[in-house]
């Protein structure tokens, strides 16, 4: 959106001159490829405990990065000062690193071609820069929301938090020079109720983090007052709810819960670096190995999953990735069959897949870009049913709302999730909440048991700020859109029994 101005402080640095210095130095020292990034990343955390200010923390990370290929080996160096001397030194260090690393490298680095995009500018879609709003105003809003919850019967404690990020990025490899800026916000409130016997429950807002500005807190894209008004009664009902009986149930899963299951069981499983083993010792590999491309029956035929870096307000949305590749959308799973992966330029060339689909990302100027997740989303059925209609089709089941705990194995087979709210479904009707619920499944069993997907009216773009991957560890924000869905015969655990009580 053109009305949002590029951060003037960042734009005032002599970025092109620094890039020329770094790229020139790298080539002089023997690099066959060199790219340059400069970034300013502002962050602000505000946390309240029972309405009192617990944390107020502003961060402002600035730096540059030089990545080179020397004799077929990567070299990378970051620096903190946006000065010509630092740029030249980082280029020299990156070349040095490549030379030290060459003794251990057996796969020459080559990159897929990408059209030259020239000089480009991209700014994400938001109205109010969160850093233009005073801390006092934001704290007062959170305190007001906290007070409203604390005033309700049965609410003993309230945690409120607001995370805000503004990323400014300058990239050039000579062919493409991109100046980009995006913001994201994540407001969240959790109410806690402690019973007289010491048992406690929590209830958190479902508002997803979003690639939006401060307007998200004041009525655009989410109705916080309405959601907060419903929390105390939901919490009281949960504290008094019966413990679930373990067994197999039909599930209706709300987008507020399903986005995270998509993230773990599809998003990470369709990262080509994992499928090729580059993450084998850390994040893990994938059961969806490259030989299964085009044949793996990932899920039922109604399953259509896309990757994109283009969805409006998506957390992984960007104009150009950290290798100068333009944002795209593509199929990962079509008609239930694995049809695509998330790529960077090196892997696209290695596997002869043509152009990269633009998934290179580094979370800071101190880190080398790696393949990170696009927005990975399950598409709704064009004329599909509402959530209520999906529930109406279930005789004996559970409706799961909101994410909480998550865990999945290193090949993305076996997962276990909990949630915020679990409603018993009897004869197509909701019949009160349950507690102590977790669902456990194997990825392909789970998605092949998907019987129905809801229509566009059920679709919500969820997401997270904190997806971790890589060594050194990098954190990336990512969104996942999905409709409500129906799955048959999923294993439900009772978590109190699992704990031996």
Partner 1 sequence: MSAQSGPTQSGSEVAQSGSGVALSPQDTVERALAAARSDDCIVIADESSSANLRWAGNTLTTNGVARSRQLTVIAISRRGGEARVGVVSRAGVLEHQIAGIVAEAEFAAAEASPAEDAQPLVTSMTDGPPAPSWQEPPLVTEIGVFGRFAAELGGAFDAAASGARKLYGFAEHQLTSTYLGTSAGLRLRHDQPTGRLELNAKSADLIKSAWAGVGSRDFTDVDVVSMDAELAQRLDWAARSVELPAGRYETLLPPTAVADLLVYMYWSAGAKDALDGRTVFSKPGGGTRVGEALAPLPLSLHSDPAAAGLQCAPFVIAHASSRESSVFDNGLPTSRTDWIADGTLGALIQTRHTALLSGQPVTPAIDNLILTAGGAEGTVADLVSRTSRGLLLTCLWYIREVDPQTLLLTGLTRDGVYLVENGEVTGAVNNFRFNESPVGMLSRITELGATTPTLPREWGDFFTRTAMPPVRVEGFNMSSVSQAS
Give the integer Cα–Cα distance in Å for 384 and 458: 9
Q: 435-465 burial, b for 16+ CB within 10 Å, e for fewer? A: bbbbbebbbbebbbbbbbbbbeebbbbbbbb
Contacts with partner 1 in 156-185 (CB under 8 A)?
A: 156-157
Q: 476-496 burial, b for 16+ CB within 10 Å, e for fewer? A: bbbbbbbbbbbbbebbbbbbe
- We find the least distance from the C-beta atom of residue 378 to partner 1, in angstroms, to be 22
- We find the least distance from the C-beta atom of residue 1 to partner 1, in angstroms, to be 27
**Tokens 């080398």 sit at which residue?**
368
Q: Segment contacting partner 1 (CB under 8 A): 129-137, 253-261, 308-316, 453-461? A: 129-137
Contacts with partner 1 in 254-283 (CB under 8 A)?
A: 277-282
If DSSP codes are grouped into helix, strand and coil, which group holds residue 333?
A: strand
CA 311, 312, 314, 319 dihedral sign is positive
Residue 101 contacts partner 1 per CB under 8 A: yes
Letters for 380-409 (x = contact with partner 1 by CB under 8 A, - = none) are -------------------------xxxxx
C-alpha closest to that of 361 among 82, 90, 67: 67
Rg (the chain; Cα; Å): 24
Q: Segment contacting partner 1 (CB under 8 A): 81-89, 124-132, 307-315, 327-335? A: 81-89
Q: Segment contacting partner 1 (CB under 8 A): 114-122, 248-256, 371-379, 490-498? A: 490-498
Letters for 203-242 (x = contact with partner 1 by CB under 8 A, - = none) are ----------------------------------------
Residue 63 contacts partner 1 per CB under 8 A: yes
- We find the least distance from the C-beta atom of residue 469 to partner 1, in angstroms, to be 11
Tokens standing for 123? 């700014």
Residue selected from 134, 295, 352, 427 as contacting partner 1 according to rule CB under 8 A: 134
**Total site size for partner 1, rule CB under 8 A:** 99
Residue 245 is given by DSSP the state P
Q: How many Å is the maximal CA-CA distance in the chain?
A: 73
Q: Segment contacting partner 1 (CB under 8 A): 110-118, 135-143, 392-400, 481-489? A: 135-143
Letters for 40-59 (x = contact with partner 1 by CB under 8 A, - = none) are -----x-x-x--xxxxxxxx
Closer CB to partner 1, 86 or 316, in the complex? 86
Residue 62 contacts partner 1 per CB under 8 A: yes
Closer CB to partner 1, 65 or 461, in the complex? 65
β-bridge partners, 79: 64
- We find the least distance from the C-beta atom of residue 223 to partner 1, in angstroms, to be 25
The answer to whether residues 192 and 158 touch, using CB atoms and an 8 Å cutoff, is yes
The answer to whether residues 85 and 141 touch, using CB atoms and an 8 Å cutoff, is no
Contacts with partner 1 in 183-202 (CB under 8 A)?
A: 192, 194, 196-200, 202
Contacts of 53 (CB under 8 A, 6+ apart): 46, 47, 139
Closer CB to partner 1, 62 or 311, in the complex? 62
Closer CB to partner 1, 78 or 481, in the complex? 78
Give the integer Cα–Cα distance in Å for 152 and 149: 5
Cα→Cα distances 281→180, 242, 274, 463, Å: 33, 42, 10, 26
**Tokens 């599809």 sit at which residue?**
266
Residue 129 contacts partner 1 per CB under 8 A: no
β-bridge partners, 493: 438
Give the integer Cα–Cα distance in Å for 44 and 293: 42
Residue selected from 85, 147, 229, 233 as contacting partner 1 according to rule CB under 8 A: 85
Closer CB to partner 1, 391 or 464, in the complex? 464
Letters for 459-488 (x = contact with partner 1 by CB under 8 A, - = none) are ---------x--xxx---------------
Q: Segment contacting partner 1 (CB under 8 A): 95-103, 234-242, 292-300, 479-487? A: 95-103
Contacts with partner 1 in 4-23 (CB under 8 A)?
A: 13-14
Letters for 342-381 (x = contact with partner 1 by CB under 8 A, - = none) are ------------------------xxx-x-----------
Please state at what angle helix 135-150 crosses helix 224-240, rounded to 10 degrees. 40
In degrees, rounded to 5, the angle at the alpha carbon of residue 183 between the alpha carbons of residues 470 and 58 is: 80
If DSSP codes are grouped into helix, strand and coil, which group holds residue 224?
A: helix
Q: H or E stretch including 429?
A: strand 429-434
- We find the least distance from the C-beta atom of residue 246 to partner 1, in angstroms, to be 11
Residue 414 contacts partner 1 per CB under 8 A: yes
Residue 328 contacts partner 1 per CB under 8 A: no
The answer to whether residues 144 and 387 touch, using CB atoms and an 8 Å cutoff, is no
Residue 79 contacts partner 1 per CB under 8 A: yes
Residue selected from 135, 334, 337, 392 as contacting partner 1 according to rule CB under 8 A: 135
Closer CB to partner 1, 438 or 453, in the complex? 438
The answer to whether residues 376 and 385 touch, using CB atoms and an 8 Å cutoff, is no
């Amino acid at each position: 959106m053109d009305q949002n101005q590029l951060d003037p402080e960042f734009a005032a640095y002599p970025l092109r001159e620094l890039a020329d210095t770094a790229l020139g130095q790298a080539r002089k020292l023997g690099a066959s490829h060199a790219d340059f990034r400069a970034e300013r990343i502002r962050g602000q955390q505000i946390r309240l405990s029972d309405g009192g200010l617990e944390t107020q923390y502003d961060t402002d990370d600035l730096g540059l990065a030089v990545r080179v290929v020397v004799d077929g080996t990567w070299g990378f160096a970051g620096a903190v000062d946006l000065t010509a001397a630092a740029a030249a030194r980082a280029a020299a260090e990156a070349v040095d690193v490549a030379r030290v690393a060459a003794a251990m490298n057996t796969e020459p680095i080559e990159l897929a071609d990408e059209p030259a995009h020239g000089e480009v500018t991209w700014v994400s879609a938001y109205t109010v820069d969160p850093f233009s709003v005073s801390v006092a105003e934001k704290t007062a809003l959170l305190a007001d929301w906290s007070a409203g919850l604390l005033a309700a019967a049965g609410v003993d404690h309230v945690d409120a938090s607001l995370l805000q990020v503004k990323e400014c990025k300058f990239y050039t490899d000579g062919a493409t020079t991109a100046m980009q800026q995006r913001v994201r916000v994540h407001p969240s409130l959790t109410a806690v109720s402690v019973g007289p016997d010491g048992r406690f429950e929590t209830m958190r807002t479902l508002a997803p983090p979003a690639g939006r500005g401060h307007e998200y807190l004041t009525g655009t894209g989410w109705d916080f007052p309405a959601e907060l008004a419903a929390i105390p009664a939901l919490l009281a009902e949960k504290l008094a709810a019966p413990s679930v009986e373990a067994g197999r149930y039909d599930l209706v899963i709300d987008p507020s819960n399903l986005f995270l299951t998509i993230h773990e069981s599809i998003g990470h499983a369709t990262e080509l670096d994992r499928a090729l083993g580059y993450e084998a010792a850390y994040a893990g590999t994938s059961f969806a190995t490259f030989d299964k491309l085009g044949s793996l029956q990932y899920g039922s035929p109604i399953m259509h999953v896309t990757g994109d870096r283009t969805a409006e307000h998506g957390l992984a949305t960007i104009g150009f990735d950290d290798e100068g590749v333009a944002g795209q959308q593509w199929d990962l799973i079509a008609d239930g069959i694995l049809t695509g992966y998330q790529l960077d330029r090196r892997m696209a060339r290695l596997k002869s897949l043509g152009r990269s689909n633009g998934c290179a990302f580094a979370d800071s100027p101190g880190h080398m870009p790696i393949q990170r997740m696009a927005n990975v989303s399950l598409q709704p059925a064009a004329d599909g049913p509402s959530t209520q209609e999906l529930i109406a089709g279930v005789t004996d089941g559970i409706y799961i709302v909101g994410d909480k705990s998550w865990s999945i194995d290193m090949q993305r087979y076996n997962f276990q999730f909990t949630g915020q709210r679990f409603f018993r479904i009897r004869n197509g009707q909701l019949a009160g909440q349950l507690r102590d619920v977790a669902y456990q499944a194997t990825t392909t069993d789970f998605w092949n048991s998907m019987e129905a997907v809801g229509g566009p009216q059920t679709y919500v773009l969820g997401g997270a700020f904190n997806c971790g991957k890589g060594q050194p560890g990098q954190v990336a924000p990512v969104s996942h859109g999905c409709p409500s869905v129906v799955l048959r015969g999923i294993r439900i655990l009772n978590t109190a029994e699992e704990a031996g009580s």
